[in-house]
Structures are given as structure tokens and as C-alpha cells.
């Protein structure tokens, strides 16, 4: 064992003890019945831990490490710097009750979602966390007082109150599973009395905290989720782990890409308009042509209760295409397609939850968010038009294969435990956007230009995500401006746009990761193609790799093979994009 590896083992042992919810999600289950200590004393201990290990990893000199070890060291340094920033500077959980919703929800959900241990053992851990929940909520009351002149955020508080009932429902789900199994499992039956009592303890603490949030906190709140230019720029540095990508650069790149994509959509829409519009007259305005064609395509959608079945069918079709084209090696680890848990439904319309790298053989979960129970028929129809047949095909590529699910399987196989556990959101989201375009370039839409049009709309959404993320948090973008950009500029349905407006104010910097990450993957592919062309002896040199009209579409490059490149990108784990470039281009 190298000196760095020994230090990493010691670091992880401490990290998991300090972050038991994270440990559960990673597949380390020694602390499954505990919450992190978020009291003042616990936070002091965590900051001391961060500073001590920052000094340790910064002392590891390049000359003493291999390339892979240098990447692992730098990844850990970036992780610890981000933890210090949030704990000492931004202090999200001092002004956002949603931070506590996510922590509590993850803490219970990660224990019941996968069968990593016998049910009785997992129910005992649920009981332990339920029993300890009052102490965690006491810490929340002490913490939720605002920070640095920033009061508790009103919008975040309102959303937290809406999501709050979903927290005890997770304990109820565990209890229901136990009661169903008790007759056949004596160990489960033995833990049920404790779990029932713990459930009442948790329910009482959650109800009291909800009352406190509604009656005492909410009247004194202010704000609608905007972070502000300085905090947003500082947080973006840690989110992207690439100081070169500033908010101004992101905005400028997104605006350029926005124009290029819309031009491509106009070209396709005018080509296929006669087939889709039938006897309806062709609009004169280019945007109206795109909107009319997309409206016609969007009428082909499943019923609200068929979304999961459609995604399951599409997954089989997509995997068959990848096998036929030899595009990428597939996986047989289990994947479940299910409705999004209640506590996560404010975050997005779909998402992928991968098992932790230490939980071998456990299932990944592709979540689809249903329309809200109180949605009007018009709102449900608007959502279904957004999730039309072709959009669901693209969504399944993005979330499952070759997107998040497949990338997560590869990441969990990486030899570096550091990279397997601490993955980059920019890599993950960028990969899913990037590889969807790769599928189009490989011919997935070659017989269906309507699917290609929907794909460009989907990619345009990633670009607009970045624009509204930066605009809302740094430039005072109004709700009307954001909604107009999404509906008029991005051809989105109103239900989707309203949900994204809310999400943007809940998840500052996260919506930029899709676009920024995908750009980084395309820049990397371009450079790998140029290297392959040069190595092949092609007399055209760099000209063998043309500048694309939009992203992708490079065509054939001498010496470049997509399967080799895609698997090389995934085999290194989900590292920050500058570190991935270092690994892939190590010979340059």
C-alpha cells in the first residue's frame, strides 16, 4: 500500500463517521443508525477535520505520487475546500430549510431503497435514526437563523413545508415493509415494537418542527431563492471545480449555443413541417414553424399512468441499438424504473440514483416524477406533452443508457476508491447530455427527424438551464423573463417552465452543470480526435477534425473509435472535468 493509499483509508474512516448519511449512500453501513452531529460542537469538530486533512493532502508532493494518485489527491483537496466553503462561508443550512429536508429524506430513503442487508437490520437502523431525529431537529432550530445578513429564505421555507409530510412517509414505508414480512421473519417481528415507537418519536418531532417553521420562522423570512452575484460566483467555483468557468463565461457560451441550436431546429422543422402539419398552413415566422411542428409531435404522448412502462420499453430499444452499433459496452447490474420519492419531487421531473460503490450488486433507480396530485387536467396535459413519446426516448438515454445508469456502473468499478465515492456532478450531468448527442451522431435518429428535433429541444433546455441559473442568481432575471426564455425561446411547455423556475431558485449552480459539463466533453473529444488523426499520419492534420456546425457531428476521424473513447472516459470514474482531461490526455 502506498503512503497516499494509507492516508486515504484513514481519511475515509473518519469521514464516514462524521458523515453517516453519506456513508450509507456510499455503501459503508457501520453508522446507519446515526445522523451527523450538526450541533455547534459537531461543526467545530468537522472544520478541524477538514483543516487537518487539507494540510495532509497538500503536503503530498507530486514527485512522490503517480498520475492516478495525483488526481486522487487533487480531488480530495477540492472536496475538502468545498466542504469548508459551505460550512464556514455559505452555510446553506442556516438559511435554507430545504437543506434539512434533503438530509432527513436521504437519511431514511437510503436505508429502505436497496436490500444491502437483511430487512430486520435495515429496520433497526431506521428506528435508530428515527429515535435520534429530535436531536437533529434541535440542531436545525439552532442553525436556521440566517447568516451574514441573509435571513432564512421565504421560498425555500415554503417549499420545505410542502415537502415535509413526505419525510415521515419514508418511516411509514419502512414500517409497512416490516409488518408485511413479520409473519415469515422472526427478526423483523422482534424489531417492529421498537420501530413503531421510534416512528411516533420522529412524527412528533417533525410535526413540532413544521409548526415552528410555519408559525415562527416563515413570518420572518425574506427572499425567493436568489443567491446573489458574489455568493453564486464563489459557489460556482466549487460546483464546477474549474476556476476558468466563471458565470460570465458560462452566460456568453450559452448565448452563442442558443442561437446555433435554434437555427438547427428551424432547419429541421421546415423540412418536416409538411408531414406533421398536414393541411394546416405553414407559419411565416421561423419560431412559429418550430413551435407548430413540436406541438404536433407532442400530441403523441402516453397516458399519465403509462410513463414508467414507456421508459422500460424504450430502455430495451436503446440497449439493442448500442449492441448493434458496438457503441459502448453495456451492463447487467439491476435497474429499477419507479416514481420519484415525495421528498425529491421539487427537484426535478426525472433523476437517477446509483447504488454506492461499496454496495455491490444493488440496484440503480431511474425515477420519473408524476404530475402533482392537485394538478389540473390542463397542467397534466401540458406535462405529458413535454414528456411525449420521443422526449421519453431521449430521457431514457439521458438517465439510463448510455447516460447516468451506465456511467454509474462504470464509476463503481473504478479501482480508485476516492473516485468511486466522490464523483463530480459536472461530469455526471455533462456526460448524460453529451452522450445523448453521441447517440444521435451514431444514427439513433437517422430514420426519425422528429426525434432529432426533440433531441435539439432537449439540448436547448440544457443551454437555457445555464442561462436562467446565471440570470436568476446574478442578474435579477424575473419570473416573466425566465418563463418567456423557456417557453418562447426554448419551445417548452408551461408546466415544465414553471417547475424549472422553482428548481432554479432551489438549486443554485446545479442547472449550469449540464451545459458546462457537456461542453467540456466535446472539447475533450475534439482533442482526442486531433491526437488520433495526427497519430494516424493523416496529411490533413488538425483539419481532419472539422469544426462542427453545432455540437457533435465530427464524422469519421482516422484512428478514433467511439467505443474506445467513451469507455476510456467512464473507466476513470466521474472525476471533475479538468482532472479527466489530465487522465485522458496524459501522453500529451
Quick one: 412 and 509 in the same domain?
yes
How many residues are there in the chain? 588
- Gyration radius of the chain's alpha carbons: 24
CA distance 74 to 62: 10
Confidence class of residue 542 from pLDDT cuts 50, 70 and 90? confident
Specify whether 34 is located in the same domain as 109. Answer: yes
> Are 129 and 253 in a shared domain?
no
pLDDT confidence band for 495 (50 / 70 / 90): confident
Q: Would residue 110 count as lying in a domain?
A: yes
Average pLDDT of the chain, as a whole number: 96
To 10 degrees, what angle do helices 229-240 and 67-84 make?
150
With beta carbons less than 8 A apart as the criterion, state whether 382 and 198 touch.
no
User: CA–CA distance from 222 to each of 148, 225, 468 (Å)?
Assistant: 14, 9, 21
Q: Are residues 81 and 139 in the same domain?
A: yes
Please report the pLDDT score of residue 543 as a whole number: 85
Query: Per the structure, how many domains does the chain have?
Result: 2
- Given 495, 515, 535, which residue is the final one in a domain? 515
The answer to whether residues 266 and 195 belong to one domain is no
Say whether both 253 and 194 belong to one domain.
no
Provide the pLDDT for residue 361. Answer: 87
| pLDDT average, residue stretch 369-388 | 93
As a whole number, mean pLDDT of residues 135-160 equals 97
372 DSSP 8-state letter: P
Does any domain span residue 161? yes
Q: Which among 493, 515, 537 is the end of a domain?
A: 515
211, pLDDT greater than 60: yes
The predicted model gives 300-314 an average pLDDT of: 97
pTM (whole model) above 0.85: yes
Tell me the pLDDT tens digit for each residue of 5-26. Answer: 999 999 999 999 999 999 999 9
Please indicate, yes or no, whether residues 282 and 408 belong to a single structural domain of this protein.
yes
Q: Quick check: is 292 in a domain? A: yes
- The stretch 476-499 carries a mean pLDDT of 95
Is the confidence at residue 588, as pLDDT, over 60?
A: no
Q: Which domain holds residue 53?
A: 3-225
pLDDT at 134 over 70: yes
Report phi then psi at 487, rounded to 5.
Answer: -80, -55
CB-based contact 16:30 (threshold 8 Å): yes
With cut-offs at 50, 70 and 90, classify the pLDDT of residue 480. very high
| Pair (213, 251) in one structural domain | no
In a domain, 351, yes or no: no
pLDDT of residue 145: 97
Q: Is the pLDDT of residue 346 over 90?
A: no
pLDDT band at 345 (very low <50, low <70, confident <90, very high): confident
**Residues 408 and 273 reside in one and the same domain:** yes
Same domain, 136 and 87: yes
| Domain endpoint, select from 225, 257, 286 | 225
pLDDT of 1 strictly over 70: no
**Residue 586 clears pLDDT 90, i.e. is over it:** no
Residue 230 within any structural domain of the chain? no
pLDDT bucket at 587, cuts 50 / 70 / 90: low
Q: What DSSP element (H or E) covers 368?
A: strand 364-368
Domain check: are 173 and 271 in the same one?
no
Assigned domain for 332 exists: no
89 in a structural domain: yes
The answer as to whether 158 is a domain residue is yes
Taking the C-alpha atoms of residue 461 and residue 341, their distance in angstroms, rounded to an integer, is 24
Question: CA–CA separation, 63 vs 60, rounded Å?
Answer: 9
Same-domain pairing of 72 and 177: yes
Amino acid at each position: 500500500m502506498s503512503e497516499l493509499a494509507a492516508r486515504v483509508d484513514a481519511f475515509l474512516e473518519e469521514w464516514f463517521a462524521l458523515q453517516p448519511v453519506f456513508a450509507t449512500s456510499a455503501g459503508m453501513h457501520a453508522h446507519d443508525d446515526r445522523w451527523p452531529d450538526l450541533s455547534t460542537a459537531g461543526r467545530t469538530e468537522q472544520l478541524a477535520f477538514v483543516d487537518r486533512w487539507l494540510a495532509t493532502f497538500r503536503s503530498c508532493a507530486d514527485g512522490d505520487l503517480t498520475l492516478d494518485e495525483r488526481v486522487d489527491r487533487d480531488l480530495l483537496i477540492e472536496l475538502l475546500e468545498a466542504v469548508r466553503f459551505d460550512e464556514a462561508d455559505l452555510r446553506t443550512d442556516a438559511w435554507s430549510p430545504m437543506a434539512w429536508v434533503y438530509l432527513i429524506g436521504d437519511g431514511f430513503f437510503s436505508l429502505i431503497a436497496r436490500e444491502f442487508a437483511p430487512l430486520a437490520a435495515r429496520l433497526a437502523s431506521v428506528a435508530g435514526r428515527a429515535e435520534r431525529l429530535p436531536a437533529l431537529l434541535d440542531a436545525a432550530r439552532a442553525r436556521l437563523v440566517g447568516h451574514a445578513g441573509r435571513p432564512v429564505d421565504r421560498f425555500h421555507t415554503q417549499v420545505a413545508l410542502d415537502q415535509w409530510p413526505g419525510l415521515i412517509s419514508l418511516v411509514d414505508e419502512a414500517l409497512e415493509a416490516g409488518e408485511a414480512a413479520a409473519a415469515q421473519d422472526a427478526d423483523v417481528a422482534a424489531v417492529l415494537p421498537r420501530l413503531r415507537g421510534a416512528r411516533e418519536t420522529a412524527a412528533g418531532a417533525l410535526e413540532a418542527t413544521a409548526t415552528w417553521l410555519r408559525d415562527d420562522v416563515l413570518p420572518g423570512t425574506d427572499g425567493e431563492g436568489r443567491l446573489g452575484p458574489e455568493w453564486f460566483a464563489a459557489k460556482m467555483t466549487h460546483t464546477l471545480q474549474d476556476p476558468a468557468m466563471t458565470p460570465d463565461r458560462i452566460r456568453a457560451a450559452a448565448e452563442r449555443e442558443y442561437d446555433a441550436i435554434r437555427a438547427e431546429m428551424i432547419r429541421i422543422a421546415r423540412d418536416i413541417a409538411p408531414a406533421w402539419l398536414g393541411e394546416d398552413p405553414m407559419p411565416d415566422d421561423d419560431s412559429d414553424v418550430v413551435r407548430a411542428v413540436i406541438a404536433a409531435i407532442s400530441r403523441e404522448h402516453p397516458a399519465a399512468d403509462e410513463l414508467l412502462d414507456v421508459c422500460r420499453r424504450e430502455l430495451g430499444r436503446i440497449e439493442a441499438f448500442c449492441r448493434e452499433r458496438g457503441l459502448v459496452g453495456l451492463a447487467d447490474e439491476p435497474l429499477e424504473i419507479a416514481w420519484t420519492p415525495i421528498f425529491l419531487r421539487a427537484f426535478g421531473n426525472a433523476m437517477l440514483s446509483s447504488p454506492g460503490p461499496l454496495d455491490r450488486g444493488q440496484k440503480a433507480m431511474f425515477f420519473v416524477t408524476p404530475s402533482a396530485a392537485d394538478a389540473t387536467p390542463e397542467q397534466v396535459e401540458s406535462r405529458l406533452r413535454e414528456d411525449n413519446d420521443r422526449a421519453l426516448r431521449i430521457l431514457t438515454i439521458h438517465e439510463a443508457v448510455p447516460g447516468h445508469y451506465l456511467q454509474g456502473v462504470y464509476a463503481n468499478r473504478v479501482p480508485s476508491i476516492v473516485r468511486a465515492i466522490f464523483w463530480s456532478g459536472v461530469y455526471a450531468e455533462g456526460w448524460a447530455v453529451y452522450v445523448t448527442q453521441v447517440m444521435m451522431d451514431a444514427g439513433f435518429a437517422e430514420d426519425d427527424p422528429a426525434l432529432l428535433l426533440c433531441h435539439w429541444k432537449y439540448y436547448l433546455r440544457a443551454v437555457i438551464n445555464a442561462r436562467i441559473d446565471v440570470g436568476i442568481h446574478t442578474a435579477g432575471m424575473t419570473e416573466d423573463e425566465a418563463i418567456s426564455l423557456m417557453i418562447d425561446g426554448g419551445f417548452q411547455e408551461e408546466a415544465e417552465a414553471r417547475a424549472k423556475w422553482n428548481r432554479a431558485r432551489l438549486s443554485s449552480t446545479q442547472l449550469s452543470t449540464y451545459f458546462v459539463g457537456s461542453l467540456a466533453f466535446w472539447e475533450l473529444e475534439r482533442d482526442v480526435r486531433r491526437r488520433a488523426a495526427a497519430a494516424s499520419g493523416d496529411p490533413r492534420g488538425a483539419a481532419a477534425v472539422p469544426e462542427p456546425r453545432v455540437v457533435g457531428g465530427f464524422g469519421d476521424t482516422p484512428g478514433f473509435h467511439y467505443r474506445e473513447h467513451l469507455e476510456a472516459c467512464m473507466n476513470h470514474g466521474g472525476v471533475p472535468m479538468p482532472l479527466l482531461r489530465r487522465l485522458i490526455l496524459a501522453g500529451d
